[in-house]
Structure 1
Amino acid sequence: MIIGSINKYIQEIFLEGKKNRIKKEYGAISNIFEIGEQNTFIEQRLKNLLLHAYEHTRYYHTIFNQIDLIQDGNVDSSRISDIPILTKDIIRENYNDLLSDDYQTRKWYYNSSGGSTGEPLRLVQDHVYLKWGNATNYYYYKHILDIDEPNVKKILLWGSERDIFKGSIGFKAKTINQLSNTKFLNSFRMTEQDIERYIHTINSFKPEIIRGYAGSLYTLCRYAEKKKLSLYAPKIIVSAAETLSDNMRSTIESNFGTRVYNFYGSREVSNIAGECKEGLMHLFMFWNYLELLDSQNRPVSCGEEGKVVITNLFNYSMPLIRYEIGDTAILGPDVCFCGNLLPTLKKIVGRVTDHFVLKDGTTIHGEYFTHLFYLKDWIEMFQVIQEDYKTIRILIVISSERNQKDQKDIESKIKLVMGSECKVIWDIVDDIPKTSSGKYLYTKSLVWR
């Protein structure tokens, strides 16, 4: 009894500390909506970022001079649409020039994106960026879903290749999960035994939130449906990390008996948009300034599809300004019946991920393979193809001499989940074909399809 009280007290201190770490940022977000100053806030943050980029990065200093964006230390707002679109290729070609000359004075770290285009990309982010991203996530749950996310019981059906390599989650992660009312279920490799265990955990833990990869939630529900197993109904389910199709949504909702909310984000810029109870995706414009543009880089109208172009307003270590993320979306109305003042998207298009399948029915999430290519700078583009149960073919476009150590490491980690007898074939190619919709698939299973 005493030990239980102590554990609860420690948990309360941990959760309060977690909130305090983003208290300033979350307070600023809440305040701008209370006083109706969200547009002014966004405009000022955008100008501040542009001035910083001009003064502290060689790439933007040159670009902004070419278009006369900065005049007498002030940003000419009418010229912002003249800033060239930033692509992954431009980032690679100008990597050092995109780094702020003061980034080492910040608490910076590397992040990497495999991206739905199959092009791994190394980025520099920092702790100011991280805190504002966490505050944005907290805002979504509290103000759009009406849930105090840190305090409720949660299950994450999420991917961790590290747990597969090491065999179990580390002590630190276990402790943090316990203190934050979280149970982690690894979705990267899901055998029938894993799924049975996950269903038992969900039914016994009785979470208020289940958050997971769309494909993994769908796989779990398909199994429950097939075996006629009941699933505990949480308050909400949040689907993230990949495209949530109508069929996936219907299957997940019917099996759990709970509404699914779609969430859109990326490693490059973190949280982008979250679905509300009216079914629209609200854009976190105070954090990521988003544009939807047509093929001529002109803004699209409500109901039209356009490419997603994002400017993160808080990463001063490596500013990404008008960055083409590789997805397309359909623009929604500015006003939503849910009452939230943020503009909306109707639908996210893209992010198609194939899962790999073993002969015994085990599914391996496509993103497991994507993670193997993170921070491999010699690989410019890649595609991993499951040709049959025992053959994996990897197409790569290389930017420099291939790294044999990286290659052996990737092969061993593929065999760890696909089986030691799996044959891994490497093909160096000049280009990787796109789908009919103009996107690259970074994982492709001829078995799963």
Structure 2
Amino acid sequence: MFKLFDLTLLINGFPMQDAKDELQKIIAITEDNYDRFIEQKKAEIVHFHLNNNPFYKELVGSDSFANWSHLPILNKKNLQKPLKERLSLGYTEKSVYRNKTSGSSGHPFVFAKDKFCHAMTWASNIYRFDWYGIDFNSSYQARFYGIPMDFVGNKKERFKDFLSHRYRFSIFDLSEEILEFFLSDFKTKKFDYINGYTSSIVLFAKFLQKKNIILKEICPTLKVCMVTSEMLFEEDKLLLEKQFGIPIVNEYGASELDLIAFQNPKGEWQVNSETLFVEILDENNQVVPNGTSGRIVITSLFNKAHPFIRYDIGDIGILDKKSTLKKPILKQLIGRTNDVAILPSGKKSPGLTFYYVTKSIIEDDGNVKEFVIKQTKIDQFEVDYVSEFELNTEQIEKINKAVALYLEPNLQFTFSRKQTLERSNRGKLKQFTSFL
């Protein structure tokens, strides 16, 4: 079969075969020898950037290092300067893969990967999707993502969709009329898999639930659904499994890095240890024991064009106690470090705790489709929601009691029913925001 996807990457200068060969060599390394491989790659990438990247050398304050734990933690604020000032010697903006982050952390920036590093990213994606029988050259994707609204950006994205064998459902309007159109496409197109933002896919599943439709029954070619970019709660996963009739795979990644974790067929959130080195650190930048929460700090082992060494991605997570160097398991992703609620008692709580507690009550009867929470003052929160009917006094009282029980009493909530919720320019839904 003609492999258009592979050919597209090749034409763009990404050495895919070399990357696939390299990845297979890494996968073949035994657990006993994995420590040596990781230490070697860490040393290689740091020495390269200390010798070839003035930006990173200045950050470290030296052209050599003796101790990994003494290397600085790189954050998104460090990277908010022109890309050409951050590129390694020998690389130009035209010779690298260049893109920008979504800005969901509040600190958007432009980043770069050298061509081999980006080819390794694709090799890693291809390897993991193959766990579920998905081939980017032949499998047809139903894509739930945002899309640029300007003419040129829109056409460019549509052309990329064509080359990548995917059909895009724009998620900026998710009214019932539009979801009916989505449904008719599933009846007529032979999709192999669904991929996209969690909140939009969950909303589509609720629409199917209301109509008592199992998606696999009207689109029998469907094999699997991969959700990404937003938190997947357990009850939402159960809803998706029920309404779609296919396995639901949780994906965690970052455009500037790679796939960070991908749910394997055993249901474990397996961390990518082939192209990345993931650490969980405390407030003093010390590694915490597995099973303990901390900041997720990641090193890209192959990116020579731009340093991502001990890079604080802005998320909080926990590695499972059974993790090994070769097979780390992400037990839980708790949320973003900048999405923490500070309460009147001085207690700090991940914003998603509010979202989770509220969600457990607010969606009981299927009336509320989606909602977001904003902290406006230390004791005041606003909940914007989309629903068929307005929340009643009894439901609001239930939420207040649950919040008092799980977090602390005397917090004030105001509820506003909306036609639609505000999404980012890429279509992401930010579930909790603090304006303090």
1:59 maps to amino acid? F
SS at match of 2:213: coil
Cα deviation code 1:258-307 (max 9, x no counterpart): 22110001122132111112222111122121111122222222221111
Deviation readout 1:337-362 (Å, 9 max, x if unpaired) = xxx952211121215899xxxxxx99
2:232 alignment partner, SS class = coil
Change (3 A) 1:150 1:320: same
Q: 1: CA distance between counterparts of 2:293 and 2:160?
A: 41
Gaps of 5+ in 2: 340-351, 356-366, 373-381, 387-418, 423-428
The letter for the 1-side match of 2:318 is I
Do 2:229 and 2:252's aligned partners in 1 also have CA atoms closer than 8 Å? yes
Give the paired residue count: 350
Q: How far off is 1:147 after superposition?
A: 3.5
Task: Go from structure 1 to structure 2 and tell me whether the alpha carbon gap of 1:386 and 1:365 turns closer, same or farther (over 3 Å shift).
Answer: closer
- What percent identity do the matched residue pairs reach? 24
Question: Cα distance, 1:95 vs. partner?
Answer: 6.8
Match of 1:50 in 2: 46
Q: 2:335 aligns to what?
A: 350
Verify the 8 A CA contact 2:113 2:303 in the aligned structure 1.
Answer: yes
Cα deviation per residue 1:391-432 (whole Å; 9 max; x = unaligned)? xxxxxxxxxxxxxxxxxxxxxxxxxx989xx9xxxxxxxxxx
RMSD over aligned CA atoms reads 3.7
SS of match in other structure, 1:151: coil
Aligned counterpart for 1:199 among listed residues 167, 183, 187:
183
Larger RCO (CA under 8 A, 6+ residues apart)? 1
Distance in 2 (CA, whole Å) between partners of 1:178 and 1:114 is 23
Give the direction of change, closer, same or farther, for the CA distance of 1:292–1:105 in structure 2 (3 Å limit).
same
Q: Is the 8 A contact 1:333 1:343 kept in 2?
A: no
From the superposition, tell whether residues 321 and 176 of structure 1 become closer, same or farther in structure 2 (CA, over 3 Å): closer
**Distance across 1 between alignment mates of 2:152 and 2:240:** 28
For residues 199 and 168 of structure 1, the distance between their equivalents in structure 2, rounded to whole angstroms, comes to 26
Relative to 1, partners in 2 of residues 1:280 and 1:22: Cα closer, same or farther, differing over 3 Å?
A: same
Equivalent position SS for 1:238: strand
The CA distance in 1 between the partners of 2:266 and 2:3, in whole Å, is 35
**Matched-pair contact (CA < 8 Å) for 2:370–2:385:** no
Question: 1:148 and 2:148 equivalent?
Answer: no
Secondary structure, counterpart of 1:320 in structure 2: coil
Give 5+ residue unaligned stretches, structure 1: 1-8, 70-75, 355-360, 367-384, 390-416, 423-440
- Shift of the alpha carbon at 1:22? 1.4
Which residue number in structure 1 is paired with residue 75 of structure 2? 87
Within a 5 Å distance, the mapping from 1:4-153 to structure 2 comes to 12-15=2-5, 17=7, 21-36=15-30, 38-64=34-60, 66=62, 68-69=64-65, 76=66, 79-92=67-80, 98-104=86-92, 107-142=95-130, 144-153=131-140
1:316 aligns with 2:304: yes
Higher deviation after alignment, 115-124 or 59-68? 59-68
Letter in structure 1 aligned against 2:207: Y
Q: Report deviation, 1:239.
A: 0.6
Separation in structure 1 between the aligned mates of residue 384 and residue 202 of structure 2, nearest angstrom: 23
Contact 1:25 1:131 in 2 (8 A): yes
Deviation string, structure 1 residues 50-89 (Cα, Å, up to 9, x no partner): 11211122233245455950xxxxxx4xx01110111222
Q: Is the Cα–Cα contact under 8 Å of residues 300 and 331 in structure 1 kept in the other structure? A: no
Equivalent pair of 1:189/1:362 in contact (CA under 8 Å): no
CA shift, 1:387, in A, is 7.4
Return the letter of the residue paired with 2:16. I
Assess, with a 3 A threshold, how the Cα gap between structure 1 residues 300 and 46 changes in structure 2: closer, same or farther. same
CA distance in 1, matches of 2:235, 2:115: 38
Cα offsets for 1:12-57 (capped at 9, x unmatched): 1424535865121011111222243554443333222111211122
8 Å CA contact 2:139, 2:192 repeated in 1 = yes
What CA distance in whole angstroms lies between the structure 1 residues aligned with 2:183 and 2:152?
Answer: 20
